[in-house]
Structure 1
Amino acid sequence: MRTEITNQINDDVASLSEVYLTQGPDAVDVAISQRLALSPLSRAGAHYRFEDQGGLPRSGDLSAAITQSSKLTDPTIVQSTNFGSLTLRATVFQGGETLIVARENSAIRKAAWVQLRNTLIGLVALIALAALIAVRATGSLRQRIGQMNDTLDHVGKGHLDARLPETGQEDELGALASHINGMIGRAERLLNLRKRVTDQVAHEMRSPLTRLDAALLKAQSNTRADPALAKARAELKSSLRLLDGLLDVSSAEAQQGDRRNLEPVDLAELGANMVELFEPVAELRGQHLVLEARAKAVVDAAPAQIGRLISNLIDNALKYADPNTDIIISIDTLGNKAVLSVANQGPQILGELRSEIFTPFFRHPDMAEKQGHGLGLALCRSIALRHDGTLDITPNPHLTIFTLTLPLTEQS
């Protein structure tokens, strides 16, 4: 602070000396008057006294009593009644005039604190701006990563038509999004190729197997009861059911997006019919079907396909539920969606099994001994997608819950 005061006084002395040498003493009077006209904060507590050769004052606001102790070279600190603590310095011009320049020590300190305060305010503003930019950048980053996670989650659930939005940003995340879309596209093409091959094989094999079954039936009718022929026909019928299942899945997938031949279907009414149909089977297994229709839910659907979807879900629940337990079929609405769920107490479907269980031929590892080909749930999801709906497993620590969501009709 002391060094800053000394530098200001020396600069002021040098400046006024230059005015004296180039323009004369009258110009010094004018310059001092101009300096004193500034606000105290702007001139940082500057005070002056300009005397002629005889010591009489020409201009300035300092008294003779204050300036008597000033030195010609070194700054001197004095106490003033009017201005408080001052640091001042004197110089004598070649014409014999004396110039005394002073600074208020408190004013310099105040100006320094103001400068420090402004610097701190600027620093805080800069930090706030940097924080705002960081928050916006982080928010954008979180949003883009969230989109990636959502898309990959959809892909994991079997929706291979999901793609990340193309933002056009040429950065690392943009390149990653492009690679992810390319990977999903290649996976979709490979699965579609596998599906076409499977569908073609199923279609080509069904006719010869049907003819073979007719031949076995004819041979069986022409001979005495032959267990080998009966077993062969049973195996053949199982293969035909497998091929029919594959063709049903293929047909439902081929109809995705096709809204023709759909009609209003009341899920509560359809659910009641299904409960009535399966109740005798449930009683034989010591189980009980419970229908909870909480709202009227009418959807545009192909009745046969939706009926098959619900019957498959109930049949699976009966097959895998623990004995002497309830199987709950609930129907409700959520916004513009109809929600049907089938819940049972049985083997838990956890982790990756939640998406894999909808894959054709997948069997629950704990239930491999159960009869079936693993096509029922694949067909159910294909039917749901055909109706612009979803079929997923709802996480629950105690129950296995399959939830079907379909758009309500516009009249609902």
Structure 2
Amino acid sequence: MGLTSQISGMRVRLRLTLLYGGLFLLSGAVLLTITYLLVAHSGPNVAMSAQSTTPSGGQSVSIFLGETLPAGVQLSEAQRRVVEAFQEQARQQRAELMHQLLVQSGVALAIMAVVAVVLGRLVAGRVLRPLQTMTATIQRISARNVHERLAVTGPRDELKRLADTVDGLLGRLESALDSHKRFVANAAHELRTPLTLEHALLEETVLDPDATVEEFRAQFEELMVVSEQQARLLESLLVLATSERGLDRRESVDLSGVAGDVLRAAGPRARRQDLTVAAEVEPTRVTGDPALVGRLVANLVDNAMSYNVPDGRVEVATGTDGVRCFLSVTNTGPPVPPEMVDQLLSPFQRLDRTADDGHHGLGLSIVRSIAAAHSADLTVRARPGGGLAIKVLFPAEERRLNDAG
């Protein structure tokens, strides 16, 4: 791993070096080309003159060295040959000067290209040094020391933002690992309890030589109850894992119809517990997994009935809040400390951990996971008189938005 990353780092440094050197070479070549063209076109039409005095009459003779003569100037044949000779010599000197300029510019460009490559390598190394440090630190981080952070200091530039992003990711990963460890520990504890009870019941039955058929039947009935509790626990764990993985299917779900079905199924239980169920179900549809939406509604209603008081009340409502659909479930019940509300949304958390009522504290945690999988907002509030007020606000259904538009 370290050798591979080192080779990759060298390749990046080489690419940056070549990039810096290539850009300098290209810009230098363009600059020299522009300079050469400017010099080459700077003086062809400039006429130079030289004056001399003739021995006979003391007259001055102008010799024009440029490519053009002033208007009205008349030259004899001898003067024209002299001017042409001087002009040819000037052109040769100019061509030689331009050749020297081109050669010397090329030599200077080659020298500066080498210098640019060396400087580019140094700059690339300096730029990549913080990345190499962060890479080495990340490679040292594992599940045992996930609490470590990059903690890069300096100006708020791109590298600092990258390091802060990685630190945030490590923080979320640490929280997820801690939650996973707690979940595994709690699941092991919840599964150990019924297994221990099963073993005790079987051992008591086997070791009793005077056990009758009725006693065997009673023990087996208790074993069936414990087995059903284990089945519900495993099913809840499976639903929780499925909802946390995300949605495998999305379709339009009649939320009001699902709530109505759940309330009809819970009617006999409500009558046994002397609970008053008030339903205000307005037609509304959401987009999601029908099975998970049904489990969300069922868990909320089950929780509202399980943690209630004699002659208590359960209120269920569905409807729309603007363009978003909502489901609200409110119940009477024992007082819930406000600081306990967030804990109740975690797996295996309930107000009374010693209660042996067949509940494992997974209902609300499953609701939270299903709501998160549907990108819904979950609000849980402790009521002043006891019980909870829970509201799930689903995203607007895409088809309804398109119809409205």
TM-score (norm 2): 0.48
More helix by share: 2
Higher strand share: 1
Which one has the largest radius of gyration? 1
Q: Using structure 1 for the length normalisation, give the TM-score.
A: 0.47
